[in-house]
Structure 1
Amino acid sequence: MRIIAGRYRGLRLASVGKGDPAAHLRPTADRVRESLFNILTHGSHGDPVTGARVLDLFAGTGALGLEALSRGAVQVSFVENGARGAALIRENVAKCRAEAGTALIRCDATRLEACAGAPFDLVFLDPPYGKGLGERALVSALAGGWIAPGALIVWEEAAAVSPPAGLAKLDARRYGETVITILRRN
């Protein structure tokens, strides 16, 4: 696993190998991450990454958030409840020397408290597949003021998803067993 582009391009990140099912860690493949960022930065969405405040829910290894930071995001907050995932995020942030532009929030993404700062412009959501956690996390993030009006949400899941109220589906693409759905907050 590596950073695909930007200022950390080529940097190898700490890996969990093929994943850690017990910790629900399933890293997004480099190929899928590259395709996703190509859609975001070269699609009809403008450039939602440069200058963005990014929220990475169910962050796992932190690869999605760090890719965004490498490509010009100004701040990334990782939400991860698992000890193994939190340790990987800390290790990967240290490899990037990105401590100043990142924050690790150890909590359940489906039970977020009110956001203490400004809401986020770009949200990555990569919950354990097939458990209904993605929708619960989005509802919690919306209720807590974490997601800015007009923000883009990138939801990774095993099947097509139905967005909660207040979110519009812009695009959905399948990559093997993964479906990437892009939403916008109304």
Structure 2
Amino acid sequence: MRIIAGRHRGRTLAAPPGDATRPTADRVRQALFDMLWHAPWGGRTTIQDQLVLDAFAGTGALGLEALSRGADHCTFLETGRAALAALRANIAACGEEPRTAVLAADATRPPHARVPCGLVFLDPPYRKGLVLRAIAALEKAGWIAPGAIIVAETAEDEALDLAGYERLAARAHGAAMLHVLRAAGGNGC
């Protein structure tokens, strides 16, 4: 697993042993960031200069990819001890400590945000209903900015219907489905 593009392009990322963490595959991340950058509803400002939240962060691959491509700051939420160790090692390997915050916190019971984020990644374990629970909790805690882009990864056959969010895209990539939503209250990020 590696960073696909930007200032950290080619940087190898560590993953914890075992199958408790399921990192987003390089090809899926490539497809996701291409979509964010080139879709009619997307563009460079979808990533560049954004405050990013990587919830269920695991190795931090999504948030670090966003930083590599020009995001201003990324907050990572993760609870697994092995994943937190890999995440911190990956942040250090990229030299991104000044532009990151790592919170050992559950995305379904997050602490209150200091500033809302314009780009939110959710990559929880599949088939546990965690995306909907996390979005509700993150919204209540102030993590989701008006008009924020939310990217949620689920199992391909897992439905994701969310009132109050505009569905911008849904793309299958093998066993994974990427859902891209826009929060109410803005015309984009």
TM-score bracket, normalised by the shorter chain, equals: over 0.9
Match of 1:28 in 2: 24
Aligned 8 A contact 2:16 2:83 in 1: no
Q: Structure 1 132/178 Cα, relative in aligned 2: closer, same or farther at 3 Å?
A: same
Match of 1:102 in 2: 100
Which residue identity is paired with 2:92? Answer: A
- Structure-2 separation of matches of 1:84 and 1:7: 26
Runs of 4+ in 1 over 3 A off after TM superposition: none
**CA root-mean-square deviation:** 1.1
**Structure 1 segments unaligned to the other structure (5+ residues):** none
- Structure-2 separation of matches of 1:80 and 1:153: 17
What TM-score, normalized to structure 2?
Answer: 0.92
Offset from partner CA, 1:60-94 (integer Å, 9 cap, x none): 00000000000000000000011011111100001
- Structure-2 separation of matches of 1:144 and 1:95: 30
- Structure-1 separation of matches of 2:168 and 2:37: 14
Aligned 8 A contact 2:74 2:100 in 1: yes
Shift of 1:112: 1.3
What TM-score, normalized to structure 1?
Answer: 0.94
Shift of 1:39: 0.2
Aligned 8 A contact 2:105 2:111 in 1: no
**1:25-64 pair list within 5 angstroms:** 25-44=21-40, 45-47=42-44, 48-64=46-62
Match of 2:141 in 1: 144
Shift of 1:173: 0.3
Shift of 1:164: 2.8
Percent identical pairs in the alignment equals 51
Moved more, 176-185 or 158-167: 158-167
**Structure 2 segments unaligned to the other structure (5+ residues):** 185-189
Which residue identity is paired with 1:155? Answer: A
Q: Secondary structure at the match of 1:85?
A: helix
Which residue identity is paired with 1:5? Answer: A
| Number of corresponding residues | 181
Shift of 1:113: 2.8
- Structure-1 separation of matches of 2:2 and 2:161: 30
